[in-house]
Amino acid sequence: MDRSRVLTAGTAKHKKFRCAQLFSTVLLTMAMLGWTGCSGEPAEKEPVVSVQVATVRRTDITQLVTAEAVLFPLHEAAIVPKISAPVLKFYVNRGDKVHQGELLAKLDARDLQAAVIENQGAYQEAQANYDTATAATVPEQMQTAEADVKSAKAAFAAAEQLYKSSQNLYQQGALAKRQLDQAQVGFVQAQAQLATAEQHLQKLQAVGKQAQVKAAQGQLAAAQGRLEGAKAQLAYSEIRSPVNGVVTDRPLYPGEMAAAGSPLITVMDVSQVIARAHIPESEAVLLKVGDPAELLASGGRTVVGKVTVVSPALDPNSTTVEIWVQARNQDGSLKPGTSVQLSIQARTVHDALVIPSISLLTAEDGATTVMVVGAYNHAHQQAVQVGIRQGDEVQITGGLKAGERVLTAGAFGLPDNAKIKVEGANGQ
């Protein structure tokens, strides 16, 4: 009885030991499976990528329009003589500064001087004729006409008296019919002469004087016009500068023939320059006259200017819009004909959300995203809407909030929800 109890107790203990051993084996196996995986190799830990980040911040951002431009002078005058004549003398050389109205050259014009003298004489003669017509001729004619009227009236009165007396004598039978007819004819003639004299006087009074004065005045004006024309031709022999500036070209020498229509001297006003550029229409609509601009010249020199022209029409050849930027050039360092880089401030957005442009990721379909630092240092892909750009910064109009952190370096190709480690200066 006691033996069977002992055997039974031993069997129970053995069973408990086997169960404990089996449970331990299962736990060890599960642990090994968890460690080795199905392939039997050690399981990989979650990879950690080192990145740099930047904080989304609020600030002002300005959109810039950039373009390549060519410099032109503020004013340029290619002075062309209006007459063909030899160059008598030059008063300036290339590089000389000149002022508006300054005498630059003189052409040989002795024949034009003679023409002025001739027309001066013709004008003086016309002036004398005008003075005579207004002061002497017309009054004398008026006096003669008035005397003719007075004589005609006296003759008419005498003829009338004779005719009446002849009628009385004829009725009394004391005068022949022939004599009465003669007296009648004399009366009619005297009456006609009086009418003619009165009409002549009336014409002189109404029209004659005015017409003669106008004729004399017209002759004087024509003579004066010919004289002024001759003086103008003579003035063309003096070449004067129409603008302030610098002489940039003088192709002839004294004694050579200056041809009408060919430039003799070129003067440029380079105290200010005009930078002309062609930009796309989409950028031109952002600009207006007065917008501030900068010109980047050779050597890294920057000159401040402003927009003065935004063409209202497209260039038919390039379908671009021409713009002008004007800048001061007091020291003359900006040379017309050289190329400069334009940078124009198109518009400014105040209190905008801004991130580094390197944070933007652009898909093949044009969609833009960023990688945002999430909880437990995991990066999450976030779609964003982009506004204007300025240098290395870009405005975000949707998808982010101020204070969020976005990846800068290390974001390209990083999968969503990847484990990251922030390091570097941008990670502060």
The answer for residues whose C-beta is within 8 angstroms of residue 138's C-beta and 6 or more apart is: 204, 208, 209, 212, 213
The secondary structure element, H or E, covering residue 190 is: helix 177-203
User: What 3-state class would DSSP assign to 69?
Assistant: strand
The pLDDT, as a whole number, for residue 252 is 94
Report how many helices (DSSP H) and strands (DSSP E) the chain contains, helices first. 6, 21
pLDDT in tens, 285-310: 989 999 999 999 887 889 999 999 99
Rounded Cα–Cα distance for residues 179 and 413 (Å): 145
Rounded Cα–Cα distance for residues 426 and 428 (Å): 6
User: What 3-state class would DSSP assign to 241?
Assistant: coil
∠198-203-206 over CA atoms, to 5°? 120
The pLDDT, as a whole number, for residue 348 is 87
pLDDT in tens, 174-222: 778 888 788 888 888 989 998 998 888 777 766 556 677 777 888 889 9
Q: How many residues does the chain have?
A: 428
Strands 321-328 and 265-279: antiparallel
Q: For tokens 């200056």, what's the residue?
A: 258
Token pair for residue 138? 């017309």
The pLDDT, as a whole number, for residue 185 is 86
Ranges of the chain with pLDDT below 50: 1-41, 43, 427-428
